[in-house]
Structure 1
Amino acid sequence: MTELRQAIEELVEKHLPDESHFVVEVKMEEKAGKTTLLILIDADQGVTIRACSKVSRAVSEELEAKEMIGDAYVIEVSSPGVDFPLSSRRQYQKNIGRELKLTLDSGPDVTGKLVEIDSENVTLLVKKKEKGKKATEEEVLFPFAEIKKSIVQVSFK
């Protein structure tokens, strides 16, 4: 199954509209007796419905021509929702300046503004509140290896 998933991911990459688009996840699931192929794509400036439909058609045609999936299946191509965890450095890069909530391997969750990323770490601007003092902001580094999950926080301000 992982070989098939990898082959499909390569197909998706081949049919992305341009180099600003990238694959976030390719997953096959059984839902109510049907195979669902879920393809999540993202782009540096956001994903359009047109890009999703183009990828869906092109990948479907090639899957059918090569008979890569034997049974009937449903294909879903979309961008990851706001509640979908960040999974690549490229997604972190795209979200610099936005509020993130990090779930760490140890310790409490941390929320702060994403300031920068490098090959090893994520830097957040975190508000520190000390008793009887005004809140201050401090840049804190979090190694990727210690991050279980990162979710972009939606602001309605």
Structure 2
Amino acid sequence: MSSSPTDRHQQIHADLTAALAPLGARVEDLTVTPAGKRRIVRVLVDKDLDSLDLPDETSVIEPLDLDTVGDLTKAISDTLDATDAMGEQPYVLEVSSPGVDRPLTQPRHYRRNIGRLVTVQRPEGGETTGRLVRAGADDFDLRPEGGKPQAGKAGAASVITLGYDAVTKGKVNVEFNRADPADPADSTDMNDTTDTTKEGQH
């Protein structure tokens, strides 16, 4: 008996997760979309933070570079071919890393965006915007832009600590002229997404 699309999707996700784990990466999202006689397989990949053994909750995490995305694309393509997951129908494989337009829905999403200017929505309404300076397992710290120094800590701007359960939505704000990577990242936000495309057929 043939498997359902849902079962097939779950199996592909599991196969790709196993293939990327040794490379220190994870599958953030997976979609398979019909496109005429072909299918488009879109895989969103990111660093597996559990594999990085991070020493703290505040260090900046560099995004995946193009060479790494290329290596991950090959691993994904080889896995799809080896498992015959896509069958006989040709497909186009698109692999990319998260961009700034990706919503912040998990603690790891906040952790990988340390140093960014983010806006979060609160359950009671209203928004809070600030520089993300720490992201832990249960909560995170925002430093409001232009925040006043903390009492007794000259030069240290005040921070707001929020639990993940205290926000309904988070997003990264696009900044065209960001500062140094360590304080925070020194690259244009519009260039954060890297992707590769590859065609496959059995």
Does TM, normalized by the shorter one, top 0.5? yes
- TM bucket, shorter chain: 0.7 to 0.9
Which residue of structure 1 lines up, in the alignment, with residue 10 of structure 2? Answer: 6
The whole-number CA distance in structure 1 between the counterparts of 2:8 and 2:62 is 29
Q: Cα 1:126–1:87, aligned 2, differ >3 Å: closer, same or farther?
A: same
Asked if 2 retains the 8 angstrom alpha-carbon contact of 1:24 and 1:87, the reply is no
Which one-letter code corresponds to 1:59 in the other structure?
I
Give the counterpart of 1:144 among 158, 164, 167.
Answer: 164
Match runs of 1:69-88 below 5 Å: 69-70=86-87, 71-88=89-106
Asked if 1 retains the 8 angstrom alpha-carbon contact of 2:117 and 2:172, the reply is yes
Q: What's the offset of the Cα at 1:79?
A: 0.6
Q: Give the root-mean-square deviation of aligned CA atoms.
A: 2.7
In structure 2, runs of 5+ residues without a counterpart are 48-60, 149-156, 178-202
How many correspondences in the alignment?
A: 150
Which residue of structure 1 lines up, in the alignment, with residue 85 of structure 2? Answer: 68
Asked if 2 retains the 8 angstrom alpha-carbon contact of 1:106 and 1:146, the reply is no
- Alignment partner of 2:26: what SS? strand
Match runs of 1:33-48 below 5 Å: 34-43=38-47, 44-48=61-65
Once the two structures are overlaid, the 10-residue window that deviates more, 79-88 or 144-153, is: 144-153
In structure 1, runs of 5+ residues without a counterpart are 129-134
Aligned identity (percent) is: 27
Q: Cα 1:59–1:152, aligned 2, differ >3 Å: closer, same or farther?
A: same
TM-score (norm 2): 0.61
Choose between structure 1 and 2 for higher RCO, CA contacts under 8 A separated by at least 6 residues.
2
Q: What's the offset of the Cα at 1:32?
A: 5.5
Which residue of structure 1 lines up, in the alignment, with residue 143 of structure 2? Answer: 125
